[in-house]
Structure 1
Amino acid sequence: MRTSLLALISLASSALGYEVKTPPLDTDWTYKVGTDPWPEYPRPQLQRSRWQSLNGIWQWGEGTSESAYPQGTDVLVPSCIESALSGVMQHAQTSWFAREFEVSKALKRKGDKILINFEAVDYQATVYVNDELAGSHTGGYWRFSFDITDLIKEGKNTLRVDVFDPTDAQGYMIPVGKQTLNPSHIFYTPCSGIWQSVWLESVPAQHITQLDVAADMHGTVDVTVTTNGGSNNTVHITVTDDSGKDVANARGRANKAFSFKVGSPSLWSPDSPTLYNLTVTVGDDKVTSYTGFRTIATGEIDGIKRPLINGEFFFQFGTLDQGFWPDGIHTPPNHEAMVFDIKQLKDLGFNMLRKHIKVENALFYRACDELGLLLIQDMPSMPVNRLPNAEQQKEWERQLDLLIEQHKNYPSIYTWVIYNEGWAQITAYHPEEYLTERLKELDPTRLVDATSGWIDHGYGDWHDNHHYANPQCGTPFYSLASTPYDNKRIAIQGEFGGIGQNVSEEHLWKVQAAINTINQTYEIDETIEAWNYRGHVLLSELRDQVEKWACSAAIWTQTTDVEGEVNGLLTYDRRVLRPDVDQWKSDIQALKDAAKARNGKK
């Protein structure tokens, strides 16, 4: 059935010149993407009514673009050019993207500005409209916008984007996470180019550029509405519950922090992910957004440091989530596919995930907010086994600030991770000391995990142990790679598990170099029955550590297989779920019950 569908899609796509390439492994969504990908509004926390998607078929070529509208290979935007969905499926350090567009009538209003928005381009982007420079941006995971009002004209316009992406080439130290030019085992195919949505937006001359909202368990809402205008502008905010009832109205000044109260709000938590809608007006500009009322803190219960959500301690159990896809690499095929992973975790009883050295599109975080999944968000690391110079470290720190600034409104995020396992972590001094302080200044509402794994000098809220396969969480025993449990901080098993089970070729990433590294998996279990048995044993060990010692949270490796790794709850194509569902739900509930028995309540 899948083969015949592929044939039909290929015929239809050929008429347009664009064709999905055949990936080493596909998913059930690969051939459903079409030529109008990701039609959803890209920024749900700063949403306006008048916008126009520029996703779809563009032109692409290697090198730097020529003037006007160059002709090249048809490419699907957004997608990594290394992906099958792009229609290119090759890496290029320097390449260009181009298309023509007309500004829709709905966006044209006298006195308004036209912005072009990019959700993410990896790595450096230089944007031209009608051969005029609109602007440039550095950083592969961050959104950016340019005012192109004075560059556009009636009728057709040309848009070109020159992209430079060295990934982990020698001589470069940039945030790449798990991307590498030489994929092997735990490092994967890179992502280059326009990999998140591109779109136009109509805004008043004076408009909102940033909306920061933090709502706590007591109903206090702290707000800063940043505009491109003066601070004398009045801000009007309406808070609406899920029934459509207005529960608060407030006023403040633009570009100045202010606060107001909502009486007896329903709180956000994984078990009850209640969200409230916001309508924010400044002058002629009106945006909609949302927030959740919750408070993240640390506290001491029976002499043990604990993470508190709305004043309560409960066990936080999640997966290491790489966020890679066999057909889209960094870009999920569509919204349905992206949410599939989250729902699978929730169905098994997980209440958290660690987004591992990657940043997702805004709709991913919205889905976690809606479905109730706590997030530990990593900063994408620079290449492993190298150290940055002073200039490279400064640039990485600038982008760390962007991670916080662009993601601090999502209720689901409750912890920031600075360094993972010492990757590109300077040891001549301790940058995590001042970086922890910096993150606390930028966002005092969340916890900080300064060093996940090792090279730990005592900073941050968490003491984070990594150990495979069995856990060592808040225990009086530890491996040499880690450090003894520090009882001044919260104990988390930042990674454990990692047990693998090989599958038939049908579900493997069909690249021989990747297949050759399967035997590097921490543990291979010969049958699915053995894999589930081993899972039960390891979760039982973890439960003992919750009952006997100081373990407060843990992260299982991992959500899905990725390329040469076969240690996922799901295979890389998302077609096989390994866990015995009843067994895993029971074992996860036992973790929660063990923590509940130690929450200090009589």
Structure 2
Amino acid sequence: MTLSTTDSVATAGTAASEQPRPEYPRPDLDRSARWLNLNGTWHFEAEDADSTITVPFAWETTASGVNRAWLERGVYRRELSVPMEWEGSRVVLCFGAVHHRAVVRIDGSLVGEHTGGYESFEFDVTDFVVPGILSELTVEVEAPADKRAIPHGKQRSIPRDDYDGVSFTPTSGIWQTVWLEARGRTYARAVALRGDSLTGFDVVVEAAGDTPADAVVVARVLGTGETVELRTDPTGRAAGRIEIDAPRLWSPADPHLYRVEVTVGEGESADTVIVTSGLRSIQARGEQLFLNGERLYLRGVLDQGYWPETGLTAPDADALRHDIALARDLGYTLVRKHLKYEEPIWLHEADRTGMLVWAEPACPSRFSAEAAAAFEAQLPALVERDGNHPSIVIWGLYNEEWGLDWDIPGSDARARAAEHAYETMRALDDTRPIVENSGWSHVRTDLVDWHYYEPDLAEWKRAVAAMAEGTQDEFPVRLGPDFVVDKSYYASDAFPRSGVPILNSEYGEGFTSLERAWHLRWETQELRRHDRFAGYVYTEFADVEHEAAGLLTADRRAKEWGGLVPADVNADTVIVVDLIPLRAGADILPPAEPFPLVAHVSHHGTSPATVRLHAAWLRAGAPADGQAAVAARAQPQSSTPRIAVNPFELSAGLELTVPAAPLGGRLMVWATDEEGDLVARTFIDAAEVEEPNRRGARSDG
């Protein structure tokens, strides 16, 4: 059956508003002058289904119009017509992502096949279409219910795997934009642009089309004019370098992007694409990270990239951009995009606004040679697509030994798989730190990261201090309701115990949103207490389905944080209090007498600062925001002398004498600089601790 649709050339700002995801999907590799968006209504056939589907939403989602789970095969069909003005150009069919195996045909002829549910891919279809003539495009998709041996990240599997409790509705079929592009007769199939030298770009162009060998390639920096002219070798590859006069570096504080116009060939048949990147370097030196030669401390949040009605696919481009803004508003400087390579629009927004990114692919869930090969097979396409983004400062690989059966230390084969994945990624890109197995059991990594969830704040404080001191490298991990194991930073005695940056990349606790905000406040301050650590990643940004650990709801609304301002927790300068709190809403009992409170300042600015601490009582539950800070200044205050604080050095303890508050309340604690401006704030709640009611409990007798 063929569904008749009306196609029109979709360029930026001209796409029909009713078309789903009408925007050009590759702002970082821009050919938007000549493209055709194929999103919209397609015919769809599957088991017990003969209907329509809305592309690019997975068939499990309500947005697709199908809303069916556990279909293992689906066939998409639609008509397309290449615009007449593309006569003489090469035509390329592009897919953002299709899970898991796609067979593509035009008018019944096989165009190509692709396996890998998260990768972008394309086919040159010039020989299959005639401008102005309707053709039928068919995409046959296989999406196994049993996903254990294929990269599937947080998608659920049948049979259920070990990760079912933290997995979500599957994402099957076409789940990112499908489009056509007109290109030159010989064109740039791929462009790598690396600016880690900080003085210019190393350029690699891979040509395809009519005559990829001995083709003229010109790369020109738009706005400045620096140019390099190259020729491709017999394989179609050209490599060279563009030196930049007066280079302007990319950083979170100044996310400057260069746009480089790459032209392949000459005359009317030449191909042109505009590639975006930045000049920046990210390095691990000893136990510290450096961005452009300046010490870097990562303040990150884990984001799984799901939306309520559309699953792994963002409902629109604004949703992708808005998530970056929300993470920044929460005070974070890095997003760990968890087990998902996010759309280029999201990465481009991170580039444009200066958000750092920890990028990682989806993992399989059970170990085998087949699964390890499938995991590594996705890496070349992912580095090719995303390697130009200056925002990506870390490549992650495996997560928590998923696909390695939680057993790197007990299995040479599994340890070797993790190490080989590191080596594969290092050969693809040697410009970024790589984490081979996030969480624990490291065998070969540029960062020693650890995942630790601990509800007891006294134990959290003790364990974090011991890990920072190097006297403890093991911690308990609950892998199932009745399955707790001790995991170590290290998988073997051979891994060095010092000299590699150490950072937490998952933490957080609490059942209610109030409890989670309380744990965020107190757990993060303990991480900031220890300057050996290179950063942290809080779990997590937003709720997903049954997982309610987000600072935000699934539809990105703020939760009840008990007056906390997350940006205060994640600021350049924070206050670290010497206190083990009792429970959420009652950090201490109401003090009947004045008492000493000792606090420190953790400062991660670029230069030393001079600060002074203050404290004042407010009413219980008063918002700990700017208005509350103004109110606190109007109250009788306890203050300390001014003290100089150095970057990445916890200050000495500063003692405040806090007046009695026998009825309880909220003690605001804040720091001001030499001009009296607010630079940090926190709070301590004083309240009665109610004993739990256990009336009616069943007795053992």
Residues 483 and 288 of structure 1, relative CA distance in 2, 3 Å threshold: closer
Which amino acid counterpart does residue 161 of structure 1 have in structure 2?
V
RMSD: 2.5
Task: Show the counterpart of 1:509.
Answer: none
Map 1:286-301 onto structure 2 (within 5 A).
Answer: 286-300=272-286
**Larger Rg, first or second structure (1 or 2):** 2
Q: Deviations over 1:356-377 (max 9, x none)?
A: 1111111111111111111111
Task: Show the counterpart of 1:503.
Answer: none
For residue 350 of structure 1, report the CA deviation from its aligned partner: 0.7
Task: Show the counterpart of 2:489.
Answer: 483
Map 1:197-236 onto structure 2 (within 5 A).
Answer: 197-216=177-196, 218-228=198-208, 229-236=211-218
**Secondary structure of 2:521 counterpart:** helix
2:566 is equivalent to residue 566 of structure 1? no
**Between 151-160 and 564-573, the greater mean CA deviation after superposition:** 151-160
Task: Show the counterpart of 2:350.
Answer: 368
2:28 is equivalent to residue 52 of structure 1? no
Which amino acid counterpart does residue 59 of structure 1 have in structure 2?
H
CA contact (8 A) 2:371 2:403 kept: no
2:46 is equivalent to residue 62 of structure 1? yes
Which amino acid counterpart does residue 489 of structure 1 have in structure 2?
V
2:243 is equivalent to residue 261 of structure 1? yes
Task: Show the counterpart of 2:594.
Answer: none
| Alignment gaps of 5+ in structure 1 | 1-15, 18-32, 65-70, 500-522
Task: Show the counterpart of 1:141.
Answer: 118
CA contact (8 A) 1:217 1:310 kept: no
For residues 101 and 259 of structure 2, what CA distance do their matches in structure 1 show?
35
Task: Show the counterpart of 1:8.
Answer: none
For residues 372 and 60 of structure 2, what CA distance do their matches in structure 1 show?
27
Residue among 113, 119, 124 paired with 2:101: 124
Q: Deviations over 1:181-234 (max 9, x none)?
A: 469541100000000111111112211100000013531210001102344222
Q: Deviations over 1:456-492 (max 9, x none)?
A: 22x1111111101448364433413223693121101
For residue 132 of structure 1, report the CA deviation from its aligned partner: 1.1
Task: Show the counterpart of 2:141.
Answer: 163
**Secondary structure of 2:180 counterpart:** strand
Q: Deviations over 1:113-153 (max 9, x none)?
A: 21111111000000111111111100001111112222224
Q: Deviations over 1:271-309 (max 9, x none)?
A: 221111111111111111111110111124xxxx11111
Which has the larger share of helix? Answer: 1
Residue among 492, 496, 509 paired with 2:503: 492
Residues 312 and 581 of structure 1, relative CA distance in 2, 3 Å threshold: farther
Residue among 426, 451, 454 paired with 1:466: 451
2:520 is equivalent to residue 542 of structure 1? no
Task: Show the counterpart of 1:330.
Answer: 312
Map 1:483-562 onto structure 2 (within 5 A).
Answer: 483=489, 486-497=497-508, 499=509, 523-525=510-512, 528=514, 530-546=515-531, 550-562=532-544
For residues 589 and 94 of structure 1, what CA distance do their matches in structure 2 show?
48
CA contact (8 A) 1:543 1:591 kept: no
Residue among 410, 435, 445 paired with 2:421: 435
For residues 170 and 17 of structure 2, what CA distance do their matches in structure 1 show?
23
| Alignment gaps of 5+ in structure 2 | 6-15, 455-459, 476-485, 491-495, 575-601, 606-645, 650-701
**What TM-score, normalized by structure 1, do the two folds share?**
0.82
CA contact (8 A) 1:217 1:267 kept: no
Taking every aligned residue pair, what percent have the same amino acid on both sides? 31
For residue 34 of structure 1, report the CA deviation from its aligned partner: 7.2
Residues 537 and 217 of structure 1, relative CA distance in 2, 3 Å threshold: same
**What TM-score, normalized by structure 2, do the two folds share?**
0.70
Residue among 13, 22, 37 paired with 2:20: 37
Which amino acid counterpart does residue 330 of structure 1 have in structure 2?
L
For residues 167 and 281 of structure 1, what CA distance do their matches in structure 2 show?
44
Number of residue-to-residue matches in the alignment: 520
CA contact (8 A) 2:364 2:371 kept: no
Task: Show the counterpart of 1:180.
Answer: 156
**Secondary structure of 2:377 counterpart:** helix
2:347 is equivalent to residue 347 of structure 1? no
CA contact (8 A) 1:231 1:256 kept: no
**Between 373-382 and 257-266, the greater mean CA deviation after superposition:** 257-266
Residues 578 and 289 of structure 1, relative CA distance in 2, 3 Å threshold: farther
Residue among 100, 117, 126 paired with 2:79: 100
Q: Deviations over 1:361-396 (max 9, x none)?
A: 11111111111111111121002xx212x2332232
For residue 568 of structure 1, report the CA deviation from its aligned partner: 0.3
For residue 72 of structure 1, report the CA deviation from its aligned partner: 2.8
2:262 is equivalent to residue 306 of structure 1? no
Residues 223 and 79 of structure 1, relative CA distance in 2, 3 Å threshold: same
Residue among 392, 396, 400 paired with 2:379: 400
Residues 422 and 372 of structure 1, relative CA distance in 2, 3 Å threshold: same
Task: Show the counterpart of 1:4.
Answer: none
For residues 397 and 455 of structure 1, what CA distance do their matches in structure 2 show?
19
Q: Deviations over 1:411-444 (max 9, x none)?
A: 1111111111111126333222232222222111
Q: Deviations over 1:59-109 (max 9, x none)?
A: 112159xxxxxx931211000110110001112111111111211233x22
2:175 is equivalent to residue 195 of structure 1? yes
Higher relative contact order (CA 8 A, sep 6+): 1
**Secondary structure of 1:481 counterpart:** strand
For residues 145 and 505 of structure 2, what CA distance do their matches in structure 1 show?
26
For residues 73 and 353 of structure 2, what CA distance do their matches in structure 1 show?
39
Which amino acid counterpart does residue 123 of structure 2 have in structure 1?
F
CA contact (8 A) 1:247 1:262 kept: no
CA contact (8 A) 2:190 2:384 kept: no
Residues 76 and 474 of structure 1, relative CA distance in 2, 3 Å threshold: farther
Task: Show the counterpart of 1:68.
Answer: none
Which amino acid counterpart does residue 83 of structure 1 have in structure 2?
T
Which amino acid counterpart does residue 61 of structure 1 have in structure 2?
E
